Structure 1
Amino acid sequence: MTDLMAITALGAVAPYEFQIGGLVIRENTELALASLSLGRGQGAPTILGTSMPDVGQWLAGPEVSAFWMAPNQWFIEGQGRAHEDFAAIVKAAAPDCAVTEQTDGWVAFDVYSNDGFKPLEGLLEKLVNIDLNGFGVGTALRTGLHHMSVYLIRRSDTHVTIMGMRTFAAALCHALESTAVRLR
């Protein structure tokens, strides 16, 4: 049997990382994802100590994080759990909900600013059409970036995660890197 080797969404053995000035773009290959949907009349569960956030919000909990996707639907995130059967863990915590494994369907890029929020804000201004004044810590939203639909999660003043469909990993990476270079 052939020895198989795990590769990233960009086809590499190691996660992509790019730095220019105070801006760092890093592929997050350790992020596990599962979608969770409620049935009719169900209340939102608490998953491993994390409550389900309201519309447009992201919430970090003790073991997992969650962000709102649509009415009665959330993404559950497990940092450092990409190699686990994450959907089974979420399903065990919410047995009455519909849970679907999403880890391999998405690519996540963490964008950090080492120089405060200014370089990060400049990058976002060029890439997405959102009101940055309303995009505070704990906000999660879906928007367009070039020809792709992406989720933006504001984890801190200097850290944003941009998630896109795995099939668009190279295009999303190119958009982030080329925009960062143009801003320099």
Structure 2
Amino acid sequence: MPDGRERILDTAYELFSKHGTRAVGVDRIITEAGAAKMTLYRNFASKDELIVAFLAAREERWTRGWLQAEVEQRATEPADRLLAIFDVFGEWFARPDFEGCSFINVMLELTDRGDPGRVASVEHLSVIREFLSGLAEAAGVEDAEAFAHQWHILMKGSIVAAAEGDALAAARAKELGELLLMSRRSSTLPA
């Protein structure tokens, strides 16, 4: 059985992912985790600290443990890995538990730019761009950092489109990605 900290973090992870950070109070987390309030505050000084820990867990489980792992499993070439992101997204968007991107959701919920959760969200989004930049550079893309920002916009846009109900959001984003990739690859690389 997980310790109190793990139970609280796992419960917060599920609740924050499904309902957002504003809609979920610490009392609900404590109740659903079967933990005492003292256990929560011994492990997390505040709800803000719990949100930051949730986002770190999300990066570990979702960004690294799922998205990057799936992309690396599906393709070996960097350009193909970039495109495989949208194949992975297509499956994710079709799942009944699709809840959008927690980093985006938290960032939009917490409008104060200095809020620790918002700051952490922005930092975790930058980790995704670093991953994209590395793939872009390995794929021979000119100005990999700028490309990573553009690719990330495609990713985030497809997430919002899927949340709106667009069943083809990932496929549409992949089509645009192919065009972007073609336009930005170094002319010295074979097509």
TM-score, length basis structure 1 = 0.27
Task: Decide which structure has greater helix share.
Answer: 2
When normalised by structure 2's length, the TM-score is 0.26
Kindly name which structure, 1 or 2, has the bigger radius of gyration based on alpha carbons: 2
